[in-house]
Amino acid sequence: MVCLGRLILAPGPVAGLARRKENGKSLCIPIVTHTVMDNPCLSCGACCAAFRVTFHSSELESEGGRVPDGLADMEGREHARLKGTDYASPRCLALCGKIGEKVWCGIYSERPSPCREFAPLAEIGNYASACNRARARHGLPELPVVDG
């Protein structure tokens, strides 16, 4: 496991995070599951290493939301962005694994709204054109696009 501040990333797909207090601080402990699904997202991860992820600060844990504060930088007073996504070659700090092979999100159940809303139908084989833009940045083949 890798610890990033208060967040602990596990070497496998994470179904959620259990929270516990230690020395007055909230810790995130991953609940690791090993499931096999026919879902290209579990081997891709390109979207997590292609786009800037900005969200409203109310989604931060300190503001009553679920996104761990340690994985975000403030952008002004009302917005935050996931660390690692604001570079010429972005890669979200919560992304674990190797792009194009096996990946998982270390904060899947706590991820911010832009991540939740990105390609919401990908799990059932309906991919957005943004998926292919992200995949192209990493030399991955295109998926069939169904933009609606």
Band (pLDDT 50/70/90 cuts) for residue 43 is confident
pTM: 0.72
Q: Are 130 and 148 in contact (CB under 8 A)?
A: no
pLDDT of residue 61: 97
Q: What is the rounded average pLDDT of the residues 69-89?
A: 96
Answer whether residue 2 shows pLDDT above 60: no
Three-state DSSP state, 56: strand
| pLDDT above 60: residue 3 | no
Q: Where are the domains of the chain?
A: 38-137
Q: pLDDT (tens digit, 9 = 90+) per residue, 91-145?
A: 999 999 999 999 999 999 999 999 999 887 777 778 889 999 999 999 999 988 8
What was the pLDDT predicted at 93?
A: 96
* Cα–Cα distance for residue pair 24/142, rounded to 1 Å: 47
Confidence (pLDDT) at 148: 55
C-alpha 89/C-alpha 52 separation (Å) is: 10
As given in the structure block, the two tokens for residue 122 are 């990908």
